[in-house]
Amino acid sequence: MKITKKKLYTFIQPEEKTVDLFFNDFNEKYEEIQDEHLIIDFSKNFNINLKDLFVFLKVSEKHRNKKLSFIIIVNGIDFDDLPDELIVAPTLTEAKDILEMEDIERDLGF
């Protein structure tokens, strides 16, 4: 897993071969990044399906309850099949846009 701290968020790129391996590594490192906005990028060289995304549901809920963004970048997923607690974007640009919109909502008290 490659973790890059940006000005407004922390960018995470999986380097593991499976979602399960990544999720285990992510859980080990989560304490270090739990107070930051997170964007996880599965768009490059990673085959992930809808079922795989559900392992992030509890972490996403926990993170979002702390008023922090938790966004997953993935291609080829029907976004209508995802629960509202999982925020998914097809590109990094759209993930950044979502982060900005969520910041505005937090500032307005939503």
Report the 3 state secondary structure along 53-74: HHHHHHHHHHHHHCCCCEEEEC
- Looking at residue 39, its pLDDT comes to 98
- Within a 10 A sphere around the Cβ of 99, how many other Cβ atoms? 21
- Looking at residue 1, its pLDDT comes to 93
50-67 residue pLDDT tens = 888 999 999 999 999 999
> For residues 25 and 84, which has the higher predicted lDDT (pLDDT)?
25
Token readout for 71 is: 């966004």
**78 to 48, 70, 82, 83: CA distances (angstroms):** 12, 18, 8, 11
Residue 95 pLDDT > 90, yes or no? yes
Residue 11 pLDDT > 80, yes or no? yes
- The Cα–Cα gap between 77 and 15 comes to 20
